[in-house]
């Protein structure tokens, strides 16, 4: 897939949309309009936007508890997403799934998931279906550094490697699983080296460099579509906010170091990608400003839609919950 102006500006739109959506969710949570567990993606936008920029609409993704960015980058509707976070009946899951369980099968979004690493076995099934259908589709599994230590990680890689399934593993390494540092929990510096155990390619990429994320994904996707099997891509990145809304770490720095946090903030993917697009003549500052403005309008409309939408009626309590 080529780095055309249209493609790059589309990815930029998604980077900005993810950041603005997450910061609005952060604000609305503080205002008391969002409830339950909310895990925001601010700071990691380069991974979702860069990876999904290398996919087709009929490709599949599995997501995580920190999944808003993946859903937006794959084409998720901002209004339906915001309404779901507000617990409204007009949301993706009629207000019953909340932040961690949004899905859109029509867009190939097989669901975000509150269980750590739950997308890893799901992507095996998706990859198997892609191979069986023979439509050159691929399936991407987003997961974190914590999930990379689960047995499902190894089982999933083993199966997809053995069957040469068209799967891309997008490992988002933000260095912390809740409050435990990845550096204290594993003996390897680069988690991508684990690919060697399954004789598949494994690469570590700067996750805040959107161009690098896009290029590495395109190579993995091409390999998968050619029937050569899976690739493990480790993207090193950093979340700007706490692990969950209410986590005091970013303010008090209970388990992360303030100096390291400040250094990562200097590598903000939104700022870096904007500068790269201007420097490489993909866009002017004015063009990017126009995208910023339009996205903000879409976010404001999404909040208004969510605010004006009704809560689920009590008589719908058991609807869309059980499958008979």
Place of tokens 């309404």: 83
Q: With 70 as the cut, is the pLDDT of residue 5 above it?
A: yes
Three-state helix/strand/coil letters over the chain: CCCCHHHHHHHHHHHHHHHHHHHHHHHHHHCCCCCCCCCCCCCCHHHHHHHHCCCCCCCEEECCCCCHHHHHHCCCCHHHHHHHHCCCCCCCCCCCCCCCCCCEHHHCECCCCCCCCCHHHHHHHHHHHHHHHCCCCCEEEEEECCHHHCHHHHHHHHHHHHCCCCEEEEEEECCEECCEEHHHHCCCCCHHHHHHHHCCCEEEEECCCHHHHHHHHHHHHHHHHCCCCCEEEEEECCCCCCCCCCCCHHHHCCCCCHHHHHHHHCCCHHHHHHHHHHHCCCCCHHHHHHHHHHHHHHHHHHHHHHHHCCCCCHHHCCCCCCCC
Q: With 90 as the cut, is the pLDDT of residue 179 above it?
A: no
Tell me the average pLDDT across 105-110: 96
| Whole-angstrom distance, CA of residue 25 vs CA of residue 222 | 35
| Whole-angstrom distance, CA of residue 299 vs CA of residue 25 | 10
Q: With 80 as the cut, is the pLDDT of residue 241 above it?
A: yes
Looking at residue 318, its pLDDT comes to 87
Q: What are phi and psi of 128, to 5 degrees?
A: -65, -40
pLDDT, tens digit (0-9, with 9 covering 90-100), for 8-31: 999 999 999 999 999 999 999 999
Looking at residue 324, its pLDDT comes to 64
Looking at residue 32, its pLDDT comes to 96
Looking at residue 322, its pLDDT comes to 76
- Domains of the chain in sequence order: 5-308 (3.40.50.970)
Tell me the average pLDDT across 137-162: 97
Task: Let me know: does 214 contact 140? Beta carbons within 8 Å.
Answer: no
pLDDT, tens digit (0-9, with 9 covering 90-100), for 219-231: 999 999 999 999 9
Least trusted range by pLDDT, from 83-92, 129-138, 162-171, 179-188: 179-188
Q: With 80 as the cut, is the pLDDT of residue 323 above it?
A: no
C-alpha pair distances (Å), 159 with each of 105, 122, 187, 230: 24, 12, 24, 10
Looking at residue 280, its pLDDT comes to 97
Question: What does the mean pLDDT of the chain come to?
Answer: 96
Per-residue pLDDT band for 321 (boundaries 50, 70, 90) equals confident
* Rg for the chain, CA atoms, rounded: 19
| Whole-angstrom distance, CA of residue 103 vs CA of residue 98 | 11
Looking at residue 231, its pLDDT comes to 98
Per-residue pLDDT band for 308 (boundaries 50, 70, 90) equals very high
The residue among 24 and 246 whose pLDDT is bigger is: 24
Task: Let me know: does 174 contact 237? Beta carbons within 8 Å.
Answer: yes
């Amino acid at each position: 897939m080529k780095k055309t102006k249209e493609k790059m500006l589309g990815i930029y739109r998604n980077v900005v949309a993810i950041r603005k959506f997450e910061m609005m969710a952060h604000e609305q949570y503080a205002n008391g309009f969002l409830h339950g567990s909310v895990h925001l993606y601010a700071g990691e936008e380069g991974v979702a936007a860069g990876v999904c920029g290398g996919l087709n609409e009929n490709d599949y993704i599995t997501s995580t508890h920190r999944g808003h960015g993946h859903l937006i980058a794959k084409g998720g509707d901002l209004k339906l997403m915001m309404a779901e976070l507000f617990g409204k009946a007009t949301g993706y899951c009629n207000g019953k799934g909340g932040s961690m369980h949004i899905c859109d099968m029509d867009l190939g979004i097989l669901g975000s998931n509150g269980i750590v690493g739950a997308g890893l076995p799901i992507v095996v099934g998706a990859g198997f279906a892609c191979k069986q259908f023979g439509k050159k589709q691929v399936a991407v599994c987003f997961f974190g550094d914590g999930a990379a230590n689960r047995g499902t990680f190894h089982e999933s890689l083993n199966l997809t490697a053995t069957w040469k399934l068209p799967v891309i593993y997008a490992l988002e390494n933000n260095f912390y699983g809740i409050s435990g540092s990845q550096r204290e929990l594993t003996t390897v510096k680069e988690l991508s080296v684990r690919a060697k155990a399954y004789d598949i390619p494994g690469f570590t990429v700067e996750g805040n460099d959107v161009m690098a994320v896009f290029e590495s994904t395109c190579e993995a996707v091409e390999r998968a579509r050619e029937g050569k099997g899976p690739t493990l891509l480790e993207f090193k990145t950093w979340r700007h906010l706490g692990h969950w809304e209410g986590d005091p770490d970013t303010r008090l720095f209970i388990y992360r170091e303030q100096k390291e946090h400040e250094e990562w903030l200097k590598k903000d993917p939104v700022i870096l990608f904007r500068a790269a697009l201007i420097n490489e003549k993909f866009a002017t500052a004015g063009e990017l400003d126009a995208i910023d403005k339009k996205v903000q309008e879409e976010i404001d409309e999404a909040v208004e839609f969510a605010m004006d939408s009704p809560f689920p009626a009590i008589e719908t309590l058991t609807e869309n919950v059980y499958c008979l």
